Amino acid sequence: MSFDPDALLAAMPKREIRPIPEGVRILKTRPRAVPTESAMGQPQEYNGFTKRERYRIADLSVWLAKVGATDRPRTCDICGGEARDEHAENYYDLSGWIGLCIPCHRNALHKRFDKQSKWFDLLDRHQLNDNHWARLLSMQPFDIAALMRDRGIVEPCREDFA
């Protein structure tokens, strides 16, 4: 089966991003340079998103929840346990971030390239259907960041939600 990034992104659960409440001060941020080269293979990249992008956007997700513009997921989207982490396949789409428990996220999803059978055993154990986003993931690293940038989609910042 070949990987279809659009099918994966369409299958990701969506969370509501509400308008920023009145009175919340939004500090200006410097424009972000759009990476011109792939981050694939760099330390702590994921799906071609650089470490710096991932951390900045994760901070933005936390801030949106803090000001009441979104809710952090409470349950793991794979096993139903307590979601202690948020996960994104496309870091540029904050509505597509999902909750995962630490074992499903760090010990299975991010290790699926080297431990594919463990990944599929987890999905089977929790009876996830063939259309669940976790079954549509690429089993080889794939540069979703480059795909988004080619489509003109770039890193979000606080001002985008004002």
Q: How far apart are CA 106 and CA 160, in angstroms?
A: 29
> What is the phi/psi pair of residue 81, to 5°?
-70, -175
Mean pLDDT value across residues 115-123? 97
Asked whether 86 and 99 are in contact (CB, 8 A), the reply is yes
The pLDDT value recorded for residue 1 is 60
pTM of the model: 0.93
What is the per-residue burial (b if ≥16 Cβ within 10 Å, else e) of 107-133?
ebbeebeeeeeebbebbeeeebeeebb
pLDDT at 53 over 70: yes
pLDDT at 30 over 90: no
pLDDT 10s digits, 80-116: 999 999 999 999 999 999 999 999 999 999 999 999 9
pLDDT band at 29 (very low <50, low <70, confident <90, very high): confident
